[in-house]
Amino acid sequence: MSGGGPRYEPFEQKQVEPESFLLDVRKEKIDRVVEQRTRTFTVVLDRLEDSFNMAAVLRTCEAMGVQEVHIVINPEAPFLPNSRVAQGCDKWLDVKQYKTFAECREHLKSRGFALYASAIREGAASLYSLRFDSKIAIIFGNERYGVSEEVLAGVDGTFWIPMRGFSQSVNISAAASACISRAIAWREEHLGKVGDLTPEEAQALRERFYVLAVKQRKRIFKGKQP
C-alpha cells in the first residue's frame, strides 16, 4: 500500500509555530527579557584561561540583559565555560569569538563602540566616572596578566574599580559583575531604561527565544534552529 497522497498534504505543509508550544506566562517572560536586552553595552574577555570565570561572566551578562559577549581566544586555553556554572545561559547570548584582539576591535569599532579596558595604571579613570549613554565595550583581561599590551594600545581608555579595603584586587568574575551591574544601574538611572533594541532586533530575538524555549526544539524545528 503506497503512502502519501492529497489527504496527507495539509499535514505535511502545515508550519508549526514555536509559540504554540509555550504557555502564555512563558511568552510573557520572554517578551520582558527581550524588552530589557541591550546591544549597545557589551563585554570583551581577553584571553581568559579559567572555565569557571568564563562561565560566571557569561551568566552575569545574561542575567543583567547584556546580549553580546566578545571573546579573544587564549591559544593555550580554549573557551570552554564550565557548564555547571553557566547552567545553559550561553544559549540565550550572542557569544562571538576572535583569534586576535585586532579582529575584535575592528568589529566593534565598525559599529561605533568606544573601548575601555580594566587596568590599574596611571591615568585610568574610576569606574564611577564612566558614562554609559553611548555604545561602549568594557574589556577584562587574563586572570594572571590582565589585558594584553595590544589591548592597552588599542583602547579609547582604561578604568579601575575603586576599593576601600586592604585588598586591592578581585577575581575577574567579581570585577566583571561589579562593572556590569554599575553600567546597567547607570543606564536605568540616567536613561530610564536598559533595553535598547530596535523593533526589528527585538522581533528577531523574540522569535529566536521562542524556539530556544521549546524543550524538544531539535526534533520539532529541524530547519529552524537558532
- Written as nine digits, the cell of 74 is 587564549
pLDDT at 176: 98
Q: Torsion angle of alpha carbons 145, 147, 149, 155, nearest 10°?
A: -170
CATH at 71: 3.40.1280.10
Annotated binding residues for S-adenosyl-L-methionine, as ranges?
118, 161
pLDDT at 20: 75
- Nearest CA to 43 out of 185, 173, 222 is that of 173
Q: Is the pLDDT of residue 122 over 70?
A: yes
Q: Which of 10-14, 29-33, 141-145 has the lowest mean pLDDT?
A: 10-14
What is the mean pLDDT of the segment spanning 2-21?
Answer: 60
Backbone region of residue 40 per phi and psi (left: phi > 0; alpha: psi in -120 to 50; beta: other values): alpha
Is 152 part of any domain?
yes
Indicate the average pLDDT of the chain.
91
Is 132 part of any domain?
yes
Annotated binding residues, as ranges?
118, 161
Is 150 part of any domain?
yes
Element (H, E) at 94: strand 94-98
Is 85 part of any domain?
yes
Is 179 part of any domain?
yes
pLDDT at 3: 57
178 lies in which domain range?
40-206
Q: Read off the pLDDT of residues 87-96 as tens digits, 9 standing for 90 and up.
A: 999 999 999 9
pLDDT tier at 15 (50, 70, 90 boundaries)? Answer: low
Q: How far apart are CA 194 and CA 190, in angstroms?
A: 10
b/e per residue 59-83 (b: at least 16 CB within 10 A): bbbbebbbbbbbbbbbeeeebebbe
pLDDT at 4: 55
How many domains, the chain?
Answer: 1
Is 120 part of any domain?
yes
Q: How far apart are CA 106 and CA 103, in angstroms?
A: 5
Element (H, E) at 55: helix 51-64
DSSP letter string over 22-50? S-HHHHHHHHHHHHT-BSSEEEEEES---
Is 135 part of any domain?
yes
Is 13 part of any domain?
no
